[in-house]
Structures are given as structure tokens and as C-alpha cells.
Structure 1
């Protein structure tokens, strides 16, 4: 990914949490639920190579999983509901929480990549062509 040299007009945290363009902070970052727009509608920033990878999903799984397990244990210790109550509540909480948290997490990571001018060089740190057997 190659970002231009212009400074962002908004903090990376504000842009990320509001799911806005990391440069101007006004254009929407997403087209649909999680698809990043090819470019900002307002300032024209090329977002076609913006990629947050699996990082946001991993954080969401860890955070949401911890919260849901603690809440399920709390509910069980306070009310001891039937098993079907747990099966009705927690999948809905997990799905809604994942969707609600994943958009801003993905946008935040993209905004931080822009702010820090992170680039993918497309090169490996080691030489894979060495076939001599010596490492």
C-alpha cells in the first residue's frame, strides 16, 4: 500500500471510530458492510490497497469472547436459567457485537496505517532462491 505525503486533517482515532476517510475525515470509508471503497468520495484518496487483514477480527474475537463468557457465567450464577435461554441469548449477542465492533476496528487500523505511512513492500526478508542448502 502506498499513501501520499499529505497529513491527515483528522486524528486517526476519530476517523477510525467514525468509519471515515483517514485523510479528510469526511468521506465514508466503507461501501456496504465491510467493503472498503476504492477511493474517498470527498478528497479522492486511493483506498484500493487499504487492507487491515485479520487483525481487527482477532481483537474482536478475544474481547467479545471474554465479555460474553463473563456475562454468561454471571447470568448462570444469578438466575440459573434453562440451557435454551443461553442458546437464545449468546449467539445473538455475539453476532450483533461482532458486526457492531468490526467496522470501527477495521477503519481504525486502516486510519493508523495511513497516519504512520505503513506500506507493503511485497518482498520477503529472506532469499528463497538459495538452493545450496547452507543457511
Structure 2
């Protein structure tokens, strides 16, 4: 059996190694290890990456409506209602997509053994 891809496993919010263990014990709280294969999940840290990508993507899709809404010929009450619905859609999409983005980025980091960048002097560049 081949190992699952990190992206497909992340979309399902499952472990990128075994494909069956749940990544999260809560909304965004990671399990310390995979319940199925005991893979250590503490080795990767997604930091603010998922929030940036989700926020940027959702606003790219929905921000034009924020600009077009004030220029519409709707009555003010309908504009206010549309604005509230648009804000609810933005918040709802962000809340829905944030765990998925975190799972994908975490699986990619673990799959590629990503680690903290270091910018110190390196011996192999001294030549």
C-alpha cells in the first residue's frame, strides 16, 4: 500500500504518514502524535501560514463585493443586510477553511522534513 499524499491527507485532516489518524484533538489543537501510527506531530509548526493563506484567499474572492455593495442601487436597509451577510460569509469561510489549511501545511512540513531556517556562516560556502 502506498503512503497517502500530504495534500490529500491534509484535505481530509488526517495524518500524512498513515492517512487514517486524526491530526486535531480540537478545532485547531494538534494531537501530540498520530493516534494510528504514533508519528510525532510536534516536529512541525505552521505558525501564521494557514491564517495568511486562508484570509488572503477568502478576501480575494469576496472583497470585490465589499467595494461593489456601496455603489449598488439597493435601499440602505438592503445594503446593510447584504453587508452583514457578506461579513458572515467571510467569517464562515475562514472558520471552515482554517483547519484544512493548517492540516495541509503541517503534512507538507512533516513530509519534507522542514525545519527552522538558519542564516549563520556555512562551512561548505567558504571555498
State the TM-score, normalized to the length of structure 1: 0.75
Question: Partner residue of 1:9?
Answer: 3
Identify which of 34, 38, 57 aligns with 1:63: 57
* Preserved CA contact (<8 Å) 1:36 1:50: no
Q: Tell me, which stretches of 5 or more residues in structure 1 are unaligned?
A: 1-7, 128-135
Structure number with higher helix proportion: 2
Measured after TM superposition, the shift of residue 74 of structure 1 is 5.4
- Which residue is 1:113 aligned to? 109
Moved over 3 A (4+): 71-79
* Secondary structure at 2:92 match in 1: helix
How many equivalent pairs are there? 118
Determine if the alignment matches structure 1 residue 103 to structure 2 residue 94: no
Please, which of 33, 44, 54 is the counterpart of residue 39 of structure 1? 33
Q: 2:69, 2:52 → 1: CA distance? A: 26
Question: Which ranges of structure 2 fall in alignment gaps of 5 or more residues?
Answer: 122-127
Aligned position for 1:86 = 82
Aligned Cα root-mean-square deviation (Å): 2.2
Shift of 1:119: 2.1
